[in-house]
């Protein structure tokens, strides 16, 4: 059998042992994930303004339509979880899109 197959099988067996509570030598570091925040229309607009973007550019960076951003800022709809997570990143790091190479 190939070395890749052997490596995969070994890893799967270690995972199975860990799931069954057996000592494996694997160290697991529990993490907590921050809740996804809810943003008001004013907060969404402020995130966009702080990022120095038009609604069209902001929408392209987040991966939604400009109409969605317009509706969010107008309070007619709300962003979903993934968009809210991106909004939080962009709020905390206004140059996030630029630093990630999404926006130039």
- Reply yes or no on whether the pLDDT at 32 is more than 80: yes
Within-domain flag for 89: yes
State residue 1's pLDDT score: 62
CATH of residue 53: 1.10.260.40
Within-domain flag for 45: yes
Reading the block at residue 48, the tokens are: 């966009």
Within-domain flag for 50: yes
The pTM of the full predicted model, rounded to 2 decimals, is 0.69
Each residue's pLDDT tens digit, 44-53: 999 999 999 9
d(CA 15, CA 65): 42
Q: Can you give the residue range of the structural domain that contains 94? A: 41-99
> Is the Cβ–Cβ distance between 36 and 81 less than 8 Å?
yes
d(CA 38, CA 70): 17
Number of domains in the chain: 2
d(CA 78, CA 76): 7
Within-domain flag for 35: no
């Amino acid at each position: 059998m190939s070395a890749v197959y052997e490596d995969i099988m070994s890893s799967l067996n270690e995972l199975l042992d860990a799931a069954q509570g057996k000592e494996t030598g694997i160290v697991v570091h529990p993490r907590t994930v921050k809740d996804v925040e809810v943003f008001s229309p004013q907060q969404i607009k402020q995130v966009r303004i702080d990022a120095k973007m038009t609604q069209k550019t902001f929408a392209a960076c987040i991966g939604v339509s400009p109409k969605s951003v317009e509706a969010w800022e107008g309070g007619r709809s709300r962003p979903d979880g993934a968009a809210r997570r991106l909004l939080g990143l962009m709020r905390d790091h206004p140059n996030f899109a630029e630093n990630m190479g999404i926006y130039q």
